[in-house]
Structure 1
Amino acid sequence: MSFSSLPIQQRIPNLVRHCSFQQLKQVHAFLISSSLARHPALPSLCIRRAAELGKTYHAGLIFSSCVSGDPHHILPWNALIRGSVQFGQHDKALNVFANMIQSGLTPNEFTYSDVFSACAALRDYQIGKTTHCRSLKAGLDLIPFVAVSLFNLYSSTETPRPPTASAAAAGVIDARKIFDLISTKSTGLWNKMISVYTRIRDILSARKLFDEMPCRDVVSWNTMLSGYVRAKEVERAKALFDEMPERNVFSWTSMVRALTDTGDLGTARKLFDEMPERNVVSWNCMLSSYTQSGMFKQAMDLFFQMQSLQIPPDGFTFVAALSACAHLGALKIGAWIHFHLIGDLLQFGSIVGTALIEMYAKCGDINSAFRIFIKTAEKDVFCWNVMIKALATHGRAKDALRLFASMSKEEQKLELNDFTFMSVLFACNHGGLVEQGRQIFESMERNFNIKPTMEHYGCLIDLLCRSDRIAEAYQVVKEMPYEPDFMVWGALLGGCRAGNDISLAEKVMESVEEVYDDDGSGVYAIMSNVYAASSRWSEAQKAREKIMDRRIWKTPGSSSVVDASHVGKQRSDLGV
């Protein structure tokens, strides 16, 4: 039988399922004119489709007309809930459900399935739990598709709304209870339960379930493998990898990641080179591992190899490559990546924009860094922090403070963090802006509800010492809620040396000796220099002798020079 020969009541559902909004309005008009809208089944399809298309207002109009005609029919309610879930308006779906309960209607299995899906998407464990109790009383919770939705809710353990870790753990226990009650389990459901265990690092339970599986697919093996990788159980990961009857690119990449996470980049690279196929994630895994391990030359070599094989890079590729350029001081290569590969920043956003800012700033081109900052759309707090720190490093402390003032404005809607204030205090320190530094430090807890850390106190103390306000700095040390470390004592002693304040320096040394450990060579060396600056040679000698007596050795200074010749050929090949 052809589609056109079907009764109109059977053709309309197929039409509505895939129609555009304009076509939907035509179908709805036809239903009204032909009296087919009297029964809520067909209008409910229109409600669902309008909600799926995000046409909330239109869906509400059809819904209102249906409910006013037959307020006790459940179909329009279910349609609006389902459509809202499909479009991602999960809060709206839960609001409709709440109104449905208030109206005295009894939910059915389709209602519960969609409400559980909305709760899972929102990670709303509390509403999900309450709704589960309702479905349990109605005897609908173990209908297969309802149980699967319920399982998906409880298996969403990474929840922002449950207030405690114990609530999330309870979700895992409930997920397992539901899993055990489902009579016919798909392989996908087994995989999901294993994944839940691996996310909370319960590798023993994950492996036990994996071994009990009646049928495994490649996803099952990969899920268990990624669990071992996440738990840093490399030997078990390698054993499972060797057992795998079928490996895909995810399997190989997971094993490479396991090796790089342990610092065994040599074996990781060997395995990477053996991969039968690689995707951009595989390349990024190896590339980012090189940059994180400080192997910037190897990172650039791999990036050029990726380019020669014409592997399309993504944002993560650019971040890793630009980080390597920043540390190598390879400005020309970084600029080449910017202009020839990245081009329009709008397609990559804040993460790549921040990497470019950092690259230009570390390579000495602060003006280009600031231009990138201006062009970067939707700047996150990390992007602002990096730009402030870059300006401070390049001696533009006042520009850094102006940027901080702009960042702090309410319309930016940014949540300032510890690093923000470290960057600003660093700027004040480099610019000698003592009063501004004190005001910003005092505003942290008062205006932004951020408790200063030891590092913030250290930065303030260093700022005061550099400005010859030693007594004030010492008062901060006495009042701060942390035990001073050697960095703080060192800053104070450095200030005493600059201000020739031997009396305070000796008080500081008394405190240092009370909390002495083996990392204090610099403090005794500074104290020796304080005495020497006042021509008190015998005391200077005694301070030096304490270094020897306690076998505290000053680490010799060292410097490194980047040999950029290794990228010469690649640069010329690429026309850089």
Structure 2
Amino acid sequence: MQRSTLPLGQLIPHLLRSCVFFHQLKQIHGLLLTSSLSLSPTLSSLLLRRATELGSMPYAERLFSSPLHPPHVLLHNAMIRGYAHHGPYENALHLFDEMPLRGLAPNSFTYPYLISACARLGSSGFGKKLHCRVIKDGFDGVPVIGSSLLNFYLELDMSDARRVFDGLALKSVGLWNKMIAEYVNFGDINSAREVFDGMPERDVVSWNAMFSGYVKSKYVEEAKELFQRMPKKDIVSWTAMVRALADSGDLRGARKLFDEMPERNVVSWNCMLASYTQNGKFRQALDLFLRMRSEKVAPDGYTAVSALSACAHLGDLKIGKWIHFNLINSGLRLEAIIGTSLVEMYSKCGDIDRALLTFLKMITKDVFCWNVMIKALAMHGKCADAMKLFALLKRESLVLNDYTFMGILFACSHGGLVEEGKKIFDSMEREFRVRPKIEHFGCLIDMLCRDGRVEEAKRVIKEMPYKPDIAIWGALLGGCRVSNDVVSINKANGMRLRVLERRWKMEKFGRALDVVLFLRDADAAL
């Protein structure tokens, strides 16, 4: 190994920057101690700073309190920085209070870390005192301090942050962009545009920040206007505009813009794919996916989810299997979201055995994946297996939700497991703190009616905290027909028709009237 020709004092900073292991730091510390360089505040502060960066605050504290090191602002700054990043944050403030007692005055490197510590503590009082001290010491024109103060006030109040921002003597493009982004996140698009229009110069991030605000707020026309004005559009701008058009329902315009993009990455493709699947254009989604593969674009998990969703809705098991074996098995990790999409695809395409096998092979499964598998088993008549899976789910450290109970109650209803279903329904709020919704009551009523327990179903309808909807009246009607209760049939059918008519009056379109007339004629025929 070639020896360095640098003097030891110049070599140590390089060694500290390249130091990644704690034992290396100790060796450098020993090197300092065996030389007169240990008295150098600059080198000692660099050693102290590196100790905090490696996450060893106790070791840093021992270095800081060493009697070999006289008080120096560099050492205090390094230690304050360490506390501001790793905590305890209040220790940074305590060190600042000690500085005058040790005859030290803070400098422009001290305040940014102190202000950061205040922001993390949520200490508005101390932070505002620091702001006054910054002004008194004449550091309010230092850009890094101004940026720290802005970040601090952004955590407290947008109006105060705006006053700080307006008062900054020097504002970088990054600070302007940050204010725009904060207003966008806050939902104040008008203020964001005001800041944007006041910028002395803009970069592509500025345009994208303002543009994304319009897209997020669904101001499509304003987004179009800004998109046309952008002097330089990057791939983020093009993709956001595609998303804006798709979200507004203009899928044709979105696809046209997508085809016009000078370059596309996987995010662009995923945006168009997701737009198709979310709008029910599953054939177009699969066609686009196949084109994506023909152009040798490497897919990711989001690609697989959109393509699998399209296969599930189209019942295209062939392409679904192809996606599974040629994409996921060739590199993509079988994460919960992809695994859930596979389970749903196989189930909806009729291959419940492959769906269950995929589920069992998954290493990581979230509650949504369990929900899909339980519902899939129930849909395919494997209600006993759904019950076994539900029993296994209760042993997992997962929080069950209302979809979990919808799936298992559906299984109980279609499997004739009435008593088990009633127990599960009763346990929802008592054991799992899931308040039953009207859909859960609908499952319970359907379950009772399928078993011929119409009177019990009527009591549930009377006592439930919801107004019966068309699904509940339909379930009761089915139960009444099974028991041949003519009076109840007429009553349930009348209530169901009134619900449909009420729905039609609330809608703008006349399609619901056709449904009402069709059901009325069908019931008359019965």
> Relative to structure 1, is the Cα distance of residues 138 and 399 closer, same or farther in structure 2, using a 3 angstrom cutoff?
farther
Task: Determine the structure 2 residue equivalent to 1:66.
Answer: 64
Task: Determine the structure 1 residue equivalent to 2:470.
Answer: 486
Counterpart CA distance in 2 for 1:303 and 1:8 is 60
Task: Determine the structure 1 residue equivalent to 2:24.
Answer: 23
Q: CA deviation at 1:407?
A: 2.3
Q: CA deviation at 1:38?
A: 5.2
Task: Determine the structure 2 residue equivalent to 1:404.
Answer: 390
Say whether 1:151 aligns with 2:144: no
Say whether 1:42 aligns with 2:43: yes
Task: Determine the structure 1 residue equivalent to 2:410.
Answer: 426
Where 1:278 maps in the other structure, the secondary structure is coil
> Percent identity, aligned pairs only?
53
What residue identity is the alignment partner of 1:34? S
Q: What are the equivalent positions in structure 2 for 1:34-183 lying under 5 Å apart?
A: 34=35, 36-37=37-38, 41-54=42-55, 56=56, 59-67=57-65, 69=67, 78-79=77-78, 82-83=81-82, 92-93=86-87, 95-98=88-91, 101=94, 105=98, 110=109, 112-114=111-113, 116-117=115-116, 127-139=122-134, 142=140, 143-155=142-154, 171-183=157-169
Task: Determine the structure 2 residue equivalent to 1:32.
Answer: 33
Asked whether the 8 Å contact 1:249–1:278 carries over to 2, the reply is yes
> Relative to structure 1, is the Cα distance of residues 506 and 60 closer, same or farther in structure 2, using a 3 angstrom cutoff?
same
Asked whether the 8 Å contact 1:49–1:83 carries over to 2, the reply is no
Asked whether the 8 Å contact 1:67–1:73 carries over to 2, the reply is no
Say whether 1:354 aligns with 2:347: no
> Relative to structure 1, is the Cα distance of residues 246 and 424 closer, same or farther in structure 2, using a 3 angstrom cutoff?
same
Task: Determine the structure 2 residue equivalent to 1:539.
Answer: none
Q: CA deviation at 1:8?
A: 3.3
What residue identity is the alignment partner of 1:249? I
Moved more, 474-483 or 296-305: 474-483
**Cα-to-partner distance string for 1:99-119 (whole Å, 9 max, x where unaligned):** 762996358764553365567
Task: Determine the structure 1 residue equivalent to 2:371.
Answer: 385
Counterpart CA distance in 2 for 1:100 and 1:463 is 64
Task: Determine the structure 2 residue equivalent to 1:14.
Answer: 14
Asked whether the 8 Å contact 2:79–2:92 carries over to 1, the reply is no
Say whether 1:275 aligns with 2:261: yes
Q: CA deviation at 1:473?
A: 1.7
Aligned length: 501
Task: Determine the structure 2 residue equivalent to 1:213.
Answer: 199
Of 352, 359, 362 in structure 2, the residue corresponding to residue 366 of structure 1 is 352
Moved more, 392-401 or 489-498: 392-401
Counterpart CA distance in 1 for 2:131 and 2:118 is 16
Asked whether the 8 Å contact 2:379–2:411 carries over to 1, the reply is yes
> Relative to structure 1, is the Cα distance of residues 261 and 464 closer, same or farther in structure 2, using a 3 angstrom cutoff?
same
Moved more, 175-184 or 131-140: 131-140
Task: Determine the structure 2 residue equivalent to 1:437.
Answer: 421
Asked whether the 8 Å contact 2:51–2:60 carries over to 1, the reply is no
Task: Determine the structure 1 residue equivalent to 2:103.
Answer: none
Moved more, 500-509 or 215-224: 500-509
Task: Determine the structure 1 residue equivalent to 2:508.
Answer: none
Where 1:343 maps in the other structure, the secondary structure is helix
Q: CA deviation at 1:346?
A: 7.0
> Relative to structure 1, is the Cα distance of residues 33 and 62 closer, same or farther in structure 2, using a 3 angstrom cutoff?
farther
Counterpart CA distance in 2 for 1:401 and 1:80 is 58
Q: CA deviation at 1:174?
A: 3.2
Asked whether the 8 Å contact 1:44–1:76 carries over to 2, the reply is yes
Q: What are the equivalent positions in structure 2 for 1:529-544 lying under 5 Å apart?
A: none
Counterpart CA distance in 2 for 1:341 and 1:73 is 59
What residue identity is the alignment partner of 1:66? F
> Relative to structure 1, is the Cα distance of residues 203 and 442 closer, same or farther in structure 2, using a 3 angstrom cutoff?
same
Counterpart CA distance in 1 for 2:153 and 2:176 is 14
Task: Determine the structure 2 residue equivalent to 1:339.
Answer: 325
Counterpart CA distance in 2 for 1:348 and 1:504 is 51
What residue identity is the alignment partner of 1:144? P
**Cα-to-partner distance string for 1:327-365 (whole Å, 9 max, x where unaligned):** 111112111111111116773521111111111111122
Task: Determine the structure 2 residue equivalent to 1:460.
Answer: 444
Counterpart CA distance in 2 for 1:344 and 1:462 is 45
When the two chains are superposed, the root-mean-square deviation of aligned CA atoms in Å is 3.3
Asked whether the 8 Å contact 1:323–1:355 carries over to 2, the reply is yes
Asked whether the 8 Å contact 2:497–2:516 carries over to 1, the reply is no
Say whether 1:200 aligns with 2:196: no
Task: Determine the structure 2 residue equivalent to 1:552.
Answer: 516
Task: Determine the structure 2 residue equivalent to 1:531.
Answer: none
Q: CA deviation at 1:247?
A: 1.1
Tell me the TM-score normalised to structure 1 length.
Answer: 0.78
Say whether 1:241 aligns with 2:227: yes
Structure 2 residue runs of 5 or longer lacking an equivalent are 100-105, 506-511, 522-526
> Relative to structure 1, is the Cα distance of residues 31 and 242 closer, same or farther in structure 2, using a 3 angstrom cutoff?
same
What residue identity is the alignment partner of 1:553? L
Asked whether the 8 Å contact 2:446–2:475 carries over to 1, the reply is yes
Q: CA deviation at 1:391?
A: 1.8
**Cα-to-partner distance string for 1:213-263 (whole Å, 9 max, x where unaligned):** 100111111111111111111111111111111111111111111110111
Counterpart CA distance in 2 for 1:301 and 1:104 is 66
Asked whether the 8 Å contact 1:13–1:42 carries over to 2, the reply is yes
> Relative to structure 1, is the Cα distance of residues 96 and 499 closer, same or farther in structure 2, using a 3 angstrom cutoff?
same
Asked whether the 8 Å contact 1:325–1:334 carries over to 2, the reply is yes
Asked whether the 8 Å contact 1:67–1:76 carries over to 2, the reply is no
Q: CA deviation at 1:368?
A: 2.0
Asked whether the 8 Å contact 1:464–1:472 carries over to 2, the reply is yes
> Relative to structure 1, is the Cα distance of residues 203 and 387 closer, same or farther in structure 2, using a 3 angstrom cutoff?
same
Q: CA deviation at 1:205?
A: 1.2
Q: CA deviation at 1:511?
A: 6.2
Task: Determine the structure 2 residue equivalent to 1:285.
Answer: 271
Structure 1 residue runs of 5 or longer lacking an equivalent are 157-169, 522-546, 558-576
Of 394, 397, 401 in structure 2, the residue corresponding to residue 417 of structure 1 is 401
Asked whether the 8 Å contact 2:51–2:59 carries over to 1, the reply is no
Counterpart CA distance in 2 for 1:393 and 1:422 is 12
Q: CA deviation at 1:309?
A: 0.8
Asked whether the 8 Å contact 2:446–2:476 carries over to 1, the reply is yes
**Cα-to-partner distance string for 1:278-309 (whole Å, 9 max, x where unaligned):** 11111111111111111111111111111111
Asked whether the 8 Å contact 2:309–2:345 carries over to 1, the reply is yes
Counterpart CA distance in 2 for 1:553 and 1:116 is 69
Q: CA deviation at 1:311?
A: 0.7
Asked whether the 8 Å contact 1:113–1:146 carries over to 2, the reply is yes
Asked whether the 8 Å contact 1:319–1:351 carries over to 2, the reply is yes
Counterpart CA distance in 1 for 2:35 and 2:496 is 92
